[in-house]
Amino acid sequence: ESNLNPNYCFENFMEGESNRLGRSAGMAVANKPGGTSFNPLMIYGGVGLGKTHLAHAIGVQVKDKYPDKTVLYVSTEKFIQQYGDAVLKNNNRNDFLHFYQMIDVLIVDDIQFLSGKTKTQDAFFQIFNELHQNGKQVILTSDKAPVDMQDIEQRLLSRFKWGLSAELQAPDYETRINILKNRLYRDGVEVPEEVIEFIAKHIKTNVRELEGVVTSLIAQSAFNKKEFSLTLAKTIVDKFVKNTKKEVSVDYIQKVVSKYFEIDLATLQSKTRKRHIVQARQLAMYFSKKLTKSSLASIGSQIGKRDHATVLHACKTVDNLTATDKQFKKYVDDISKKLSF
């Protein structure tokens, strides 16, 4: 009833530079829930980088060490739904709050989904305060750092920053090799070293894909009664790389562009007319038009609530500047490279 997945444990969570801070903070929290300054512990990062896994691992370890403590893992979507159900029935809002306020270690996954849900945010605020005041541990995950979260009340955001925010990044080559080997070992399959290296070299952005490739490889070679050949691995990796290219989102483009210019997302989306920020914003619009299927209107609304004419103007400006300004062309080339992983 903790909703924990025992396979998502620390032993199966390979350590690397990309996750060292989050992993060790998670360990510290698991060994002393509520007793460290990492409260809340906020784990954030892109899709498929291990947030859910790490969040479970903390819970699993707490349960192991302190069997009497109540641990609860809940996705934010489920939390929102439960809250909705509770308020529909008379006075069950209090029961809902009490239920959550009894928990020793509360893990809430993908907290960014609270965005715009003011009523549920209020309820979460009350729960959070009660738990925190009583030395209970809160663990949160999010796809963004608290500073970049939108439509979440300031008082909640400031609490998210009370403890420690640890980013999970894309794993480096070594870590990808370790993840692959651990995964294959658990599945009891042997794959030639060169195939493992090939996969690790080409699938760089997220662990879920790395695992997807392994699953396909195992299925395909069993189906064709073939060896785990490099040729087969190449076909599978090719398919994955093509699929991910299609999946670039406006959100992702904005992140890449902000990071490239070393400005934060809020600044990129702000109304400021500072030249370098305007250019960054226009580049985000240009690449969104080029690489996603989103309409001009939708791109505009996602990049700081602009209209479609602004996006169209941005695309033209970028085309012009690329043709006339060498430095600007370099920006376009650099960002293109970063977006075509």
Which residues lie near Mg ion (CB under 5 A)?
51-52
Residue whose C-beta lies closest to Mg ion: 52
Residue whose C-beta lies closest to ligand ADP: 50
Phi, psi of 9 (to 5 degrees): -115, 170
Work out what residue 208 binds among ligand ADP, Mg ion, none; the CB cut-off runs from 5 to 8 Å by kind.
ligand ADP
Long-range pairs, 32-37, Cβ under 8 A, ≥24: 33/62, 33/66, 33/69, 33/104, 33/105, 33/136, 33/137, 34/104, 34/105, 34/135, 34/136, 34/137, 35/135, 37/163, 37/164
Give 107 or 311: the residue with its C-beta nearer to ligand ADP.
Answer: 107
Give 47 or 189: the residue with its C-beta nearer to ligand ADP.
Answer: 47
CB of 51 to Mg ion, least distance (A): 5
Cα–Cα distance for residue pair 245/47, rounded to 1 Å = 15
Give 249 or 270: the residue with its C-beta nearer to Mg ion.
Answer: 249
Give 146 or 300: the residue with its C-beta nearer to Mg ion.
Answer: 146
CB of 109 to Mg ion, least distance (A): 6
CB of 53 to ligand ADP, least distance (A): 3
Work out what residue 211 binds among Mg ion, ligand ADP, none; the CB cut-off runs from 5 to 8 Å by kind.
ligand ADP
Spell out a b/e string for 138-172, using b for 16 or more CB atoms within 10 Å of the CB, else e. bbbbbbbbbebbeebeeebeebbebbbbbbbbbbe
CB of 70 to ligand ADP, least distance (A): 23
Q: What residue ranges bind ligand ADP (CB under 6 A)?
A: 12-14, 19, 47-53, 179, 207-208, 211
- On whether the CB atoms of residues 108 and 78 are closer than 8 A, the answer is no
Work out what residue 14 binds among ligand ADP, Mg ion, none; the CB cut-off runs from 5 to 8 Å by kind.
ligand ADP
Instruction: Note the residue count of the chain.
Output: 341
Work out what residue 49 binds among ligand ADP, Mg ion, none; the CB cut-off runs from 5 to 8 Å by kind.
ligand ADP
Work out what residue 50 binds among ligand ADP, Mg ion, none; the CB cut-off runs from 5 to 8 Å by kind.
ligand ADP
Residue 243, both tokens: 């699929």
Per DSSP, what are the bridge partners of residue 74?
108
Residue 234, both tokens: 């190449």
CB of 56 to ligand ADP, least distance (A): 8
Give 71 or 214: the residue with its C-beta nearer to ligand ADP.
Answer: 214
CB of 53 to Mg ion, least distance (A): 8
Q: Which of 85, 87, 143 is nearest to 115 (CA)?
A: 143
Work out what residue 53 binds among ligand ADP, Mg ion, none; the CB cut-off runs from 5 to 8 Å by kind.
ligand ADP
Q: What is the dihedral of CA 291, 76, 130, 151, to 10 degrees?
A: 40
Q: What angle do CA 62, 67, 71 make, to 5 degrees?
A: 55
- On whether the CB atoms of residues 179 and 213 are closer than 8 A, the answer is no
Cis omega (within 30 of 0) for bond into 146:
no
Give 52 or 76: the residue with its C-beta nearer to Mg ion.
Answer: 52
Give 39 or 112: the residue with its C-beta nearer to Mg ion.
Answer: 112
Residue 269, both tokens: 């989306």
Work out what residue 314 binds among Mg ion, ligand ADP, none; the CB cut-off runs from 5 to 8 Å by kind.
none
Work out what residue 48 binds among ligand ADP, Mg ion, none; the CB cut-off runs from 5 to 8 Å by kind.
ligand ADP
Per DSSP, what are the bridge partners of residue 165?
42
Give 62 or 318: the residue with its C-beta nearer to ligand ADP.
Answer: 62
CB of 36 to ligand ADP, least distance (A): 21
CB of 52 to Mg ion, least distance (A): 3
